[in-house]
């Protein structure tokens, strides 16, 4: 199966992975909820530098002696931000794809789907040494820009979800869809809460909680020296001795994240790196559909 994570891992580029995922998604959709863009007139807007000159309504100019730009329905299409946590912890992999690989593939696939239905997609790569931002555009060529930005992305530094929240609220000033891909491992216990405040600004926030199988199941047996991936902390432990406690902690963490998202009416999707990604997307889209 092409979309098996192990098989997907063999595809070297994000683009190929994204395409493979999207194809899986498209073949899995029975009826597309996106029927193409509308070209009907929606409203006038006073011209501002940067607006398309070809959209100036000359009739309105004749009436009011002011430049007005015509806005069409398609221009009210979704503005989407794909935010990817690229901290060092995201580069963890127990087998096959790392969490970052999975986040990139899913992000690219989403971008593809959005661009395909004329939505504007932007990218925000969150990392400790500064975020990389690509503003949303609906142009077909824009997808290539996003995929190139995701290509070869490496996890570095610590997770700063609070900073990401600030950045996103700055960039997504009006209603936008935000797709966050992160393991949510943040030192700040209120980081997720800060992120979820994006909902207060009418943004549509979807959290893809990406976790490795080993992080969820803790399958280690032998005496192990666990090393932090973001700082110099370490802990030697006999995994069998702490497994029960670890699993309890992890379950509380996942349940807590899901609960907080639900409280803020945000979508929460737990993504295991060992599950087929098209299924993840289909599951997500199906839930979205049910929510409408």
How many CB atoms neighbour CB 42 within 10 A? 13
Of 27 and 238, nearer to other proteins (C-beta) is 238
Which of 15, 70, 79, 99 binds other proteins (CB under 8 A)? It is 99
For residues 231 and 185, is the Cβ–Cβ distance under 8 A? no
Of 55 and 193, nearer to other proteins (C-beta) is 193
Site mask for other proteins (CB under 8 A), range 60-89, x = bound: -----------------------------x
Site mask for other proteins (CB under 8 A), range 219-248, x = bound: -x-xxxxxxxx---xxxxx---xx--xx-x
> Does 154 engage in binding with other proteins (CB under 8 A)?
no
> How far lies 249's CA from each of 36, 55, 208, 256, in Å?
45, 56, 20, 10
Which of 169, 253, 267, 279 binds other proteins (CB under 8 A)? It is 253
3-class DSSP state for residue 80? strand
How many whole angstroms separate alpha carbon 116 and alpha carbon 58? 31
CB of 248 to other proteins, least distance (A): 8
> Does 43 engage in binding with other proteins (CB under 8 A)?
no
How many whole angstroms separate alpha carbon 2 and alpha carbon 239? 34
> What is residue 178's DSSP assignment?
E
Return the CA Rg of the chain: 21
Of 73 and 241, nearer to other proteins (C-beta) is 241
Which positions from 105 through 124 interact with other proteins, judged by CB under 8 A? none
> How far lies 146's CA from each of 26, 159, 177, in Å?
20, 21, 16
In terms of Cα–Cα distance, which of 290, 146, 264 is closest to 206?
Answer: 264
Of 40 and 222, nearer to other proteins (C-beta) is 222
| Strand pairing class (120-126; 132-137) | antiparallel
Which of 9, 82, 90, 180 binds other proteins (CB under 8 A)? It is 90
Which of 85, 101, 212, 269 binds other proteins (CB under 8 A)? It is 212
Q: Spell out the long-range contacts of 244-248 with Cβ–Cβ below 8 A and sequence spacing 24 or more.
A: 246/218, 247/217, 247/218
CB of 246 to other proteins, least distance (A): 4
Of 81 and 185, nearer to other proteins (C-beta) is 185
In terms of Cα–Cα distance, which of 204, 195, 199 is closest to 119?
Answer: 204
CB of 166 to other proteins, least distance (A): 23
Which residues contact other proteins by CB under 8 A? 89-90, 92, 99, 183, 185, 212, 214-215, 220, 222-229, 233-237, 241-242, 245-246, 248-250, 253
């Amino acid at each position: 199966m092409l979309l098996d994570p192990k098989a997907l891992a063999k595809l070297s580029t994000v683009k190929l992975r994204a395409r493979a995922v999207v194809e899986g998604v498209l073949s899995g959709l029975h009826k597309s909820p996106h029927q193409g863009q509308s070209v009907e007139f929606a409203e006038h807007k006073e011209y501002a530098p940067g607006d398309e000159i070809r959209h100036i309504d000359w009739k309105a100019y004749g009436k009011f002696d002011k430049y007005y730009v015509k806005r069409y329905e398609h221009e009210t299409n979704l503005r989407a931000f794909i935010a990817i946590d690229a901290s060092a912890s995201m580069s963890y992999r127990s087998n096959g794809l790392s969490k970052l690989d999975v986040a990139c593939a899913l992000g690219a696939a989403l971008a593809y789907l959005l661009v395909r239905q004329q939505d504007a997609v932007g990218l925000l790569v969150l990392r400790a040494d500064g975020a990389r931002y690509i503003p949303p555009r609906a142009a077909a060529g824009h997808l290539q820009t996003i995929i190139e930005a995701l290509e070869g992305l490496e996890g570095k530094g610590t997770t700063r979800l609070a900073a990401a929240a600030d950045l996103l609220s700055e960039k997504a000033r009006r209603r936008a869809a935000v797709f966050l891909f992160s393991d949510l491992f943040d030192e700040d216990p209120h980081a997720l809460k800060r992120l979820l405040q994006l909902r207060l600004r009418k943004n549509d926030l979807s959290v893809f909680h990406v976790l490795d199988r080993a992080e969820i199941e803790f399958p280690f047996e032998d005496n192990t020296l666990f090393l932090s991936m973001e700082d110099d902390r370490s802990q030697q432990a006999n995994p069998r001795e702490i497994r029960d406690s670890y699993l309890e902690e992890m379950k509380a963490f996942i349940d807590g994240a899901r609960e907080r998202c639900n409280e803020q009416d945000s979508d929460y999707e737990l993504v295991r790196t060992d599950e087929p990604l098209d299924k993840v997307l289909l599951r997500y889209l199906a839930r979205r559909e049910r929510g409408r």
